[in-house]
Structure 1
């Protein structure tokens, strides 16, 4: 039997072995990554040694002593009874009881030591190793670093333009060869981008750029044309070079075609034209709320900062401000164009502008409103791009409002001014309850009292439509007053009164809920009864609108009461009920308007209730709406290609015309994705130009056209099922017994 100390030494070796293996996993990942990047074994070995050395300093596999091993076993194996340390003490130095315990621990370690494992992070090391290998494989396969290094080079030497003869007849005459190709892109002047000269024929430039080509051959030819989107543009011969130019307006494709002195035609590959649109400026206003209000005695200044950016530079920016005065039909508007505090530098791509607007200098008075937004123009020519920010508002609160009364034959102005709706009151009440922990008791009660005043204003406004209360400026008798309003009358009224009188629902007061004249209210339940003798009350509604409006006013009154008592949580149920009643009133009004909007034709009394329907005929129209196929030529081309591949037939002149039409349909779709359909479009171009193509190219062309077609949507079709006499009898029997 092994001694206890030997067991601990073996466990320590296992522990150290796992730590060394963990270090190896950590260092192996960067080493493999460096090899896949540089393809150099010495670099990989150097990286492995460097990373392993750094990790060894942190992990220190040699630091674990037998005492650490004994402590770890005591913590993770209860059978040792925290006595593993006795195995490290010589037997002659132990007492009799300690020797017995030492033997027990040795026996239990032999039996159960395999149940615990040394601490390690091998799984984490394996994940890190796999991540490095995956990154290296991606870089190696797609040559990411090579492409990045190549994109930083100022010049690229692409492949030369490849021309293919359209005449398949063999000849001993040598074909002309291209010895020079040059593409010059002149960007618009406002972009301040220098001209680009390259031999790569693919074009990617800003809209409005001027593109020029120069092509030179080693021998004399008849002429060269540039073909683009079904149009041909002949190129001019100048000093041995064929030149052409065009202005970029839209994306597309183009190719070159020339004819030699023996009237043989040659056509090149297709090249993409990608047009970059000039973006509109980006405008954003910061440092101000979208709605700002000022009291008459405040410093009425609006300060904000505007950040503007554009891809090719900003030409101008200004503020459009509109001042509105008056209300109703007498409202007047005045629009002004304001400049920023500092001069705008012409051509900067990014700028931050500040502005201070003094409402007094704008000649604004109480009740006036200011609407303003920032408009920016870029340097695009001939017509610049224009952008504008969101509209911001600034209002001077009106401290004086006119009150209309009924006198003589004067009309009553029942059009309510701006006030909070019941839904807004509910939102503000819920927000107050949510912010209660953040507010002091004084602020909380003040906001609750303010909401109570807003509820009172809304109640009085709705009451105006019933003719109950006509004085909006003062407090009607029976209305709730805030503690502040009560203090204003303290000096005038010294008589004792009930302190809760203003906070209770006084149903017996002279005004509240009894605002109709006394002589008209002989029966207290009269206004809540459905009186069929009154033609105005005899309707199809189960409850009159006037009664519902009265209920809504009662709910608003109770909601105001609890808001005044600083208990908005009790006010919410009444507010919700008031909102529900208001919505029902609105919906009922809509139904009533809809009914009176239809005026049916008069009924002929001689034919009424006769039951004759001989002259009554129905009208039915049936039509099949079929969506027009956007790619008819492509579908016919696919069928023709299948026939050519299976029968190994020859391409006729009719086929060339068909393939050209399919190419036009594919070109419209290929503009949206320049790289996806370029090869398929090029093959269609060559076939329509009578370029000899192998049968394998026809298969690839067929596959490309299939991918270009949109996916068909499933169409449910009723299928006819074969039935027999036995099945019919069974179905009839089931119907009888059902």
Structure 2
């Protein structure tokens, strides 16, 4: 098997040559992309531009190398070395797997393997394409790098501008901040070397600054506050102030190069948060037999809550205008850590004066430990309600019945069930077939009654048509005794429940003492409801009536255990229901404006007499972010773009005026100051442009409201109404 590694070396060399050739062809394009990204967006842009190109180049190189497989190697060896006698494939087979003439031939080829070392199977270099690609890449990269910058400044990043040159100018050699938080926070004193810091509101910040050589004077400049002078103590300069709001500051000294602005963010003390733990809802009902109530609250704060809180208790009595209030307060002591305390108490409902129809309202008031002014927060109110009818409801919980919505099988489902029964009839016993057919008949009856009620028919059961049989052996009810001196009305003849609804008991006698009686509601009932039965055209009502008849026939056959005879009636009912659904609906047209008739005598004549046209002045709306938008466009760096003048003074005034709606006004003002002092810093200009983009006001999602019309326009709008 020593012959196989020797031959495989040719395959490895060919794959390496193909990969290197691909890299040599594609690498110039990747370098051009990287140079373009670096010129436009810096190092980050170069990495982002080059990374996809490198990935694509590697994928192409792997793809080109994969074609040099074992099949290619065998073919090349057979073509290049005649002494292998087109039997190179035998060298890649195991000696034990071949026998006979194949084994003899393999042994002969194994003795000639050394002849393969003199053959070079690597593909040729793509010399001409490689030279063209590299020449073009060098030209493009030179053009990109030598193209003049948009701001005409030299490309350097962060070199602080020197206000005084010379070796004797002082230099800031060290700086530290010592931050002392307020005592109530419980935070320790800390030091840091960074000049930007986030400190609790009310903290004392002390600056420890070193210069070399020592200046004659030094201080801290605050653009919107009083400057602080630094006091020299040996080789160190110190100064301090209380930080009660976010500030920008700059270190200044005689002869010192102008420094960038640093910022101090004052983190305000958050107000305490009161959360209701028990009960889960802010309104609870009094349970039968309940005599006590235990509400539980939880108060949390970033620095701590005072252990003693106040529970406000209010009891309401009465209702309407006669309602009365009784208020009192009681102290509560919390349990747990200082930053998260739990307050609870058990209230005796009888002692609080609770009665039926009254409410017990509790509210927790907590205070944090902020100094000098503490923050007091009122928690959520919790109401315990005693319903007026609680005594009546006591003991009736077990008698409540859960009412489920009515379920009706559709006509299509009834047909499906009937067809399934017909298909399974041979495998079922006659009794089972009868039971299932009767169940389907009950579903058909329920659907028929549902449509019947919708059409104005009577429901079966209470007052339905048919002969009413006696249901018990009790004697018939006696006639009622007279309750007045008026003559008793004559007994109406017996009729079949409703007598086809032509006469419900005849004419009723007038009530005694001249009272009027609603005959229809007293002695009869209406089947045709105005909300259901009168909404359809006669053709639609006729289709629904025929569908009910077909449902009745289907039900009759199903009740008798004959689903085959019921299926045609069920299909007929389904078709009639679909016909009713496709009935023409009636739409009421909306009434439009009654416009005056067109005078065709003046139409298309070109006469403009008595036509007065008003040319309203177009309102000039200056966008609120015009200054910021102009500055954003002026900071553009695209090669060949004509950048306008950068009005930093107007931009700084805009940032001060709109600081209330900006997400980070201090960062924007610091970036403006840095660009003003270091106009050649590209990174500073890019940061300012990015901050301006986030500060620009987004356009409204909907068009703005038009300006109010004048007197004449208002009269026109009023006339349109």
Normalising by structure 2, report the TM-score. 0.41
Which one has more relative contact order, counting CA pairs under 8 Å at least 6 apart? 2
Larger Rg: 2
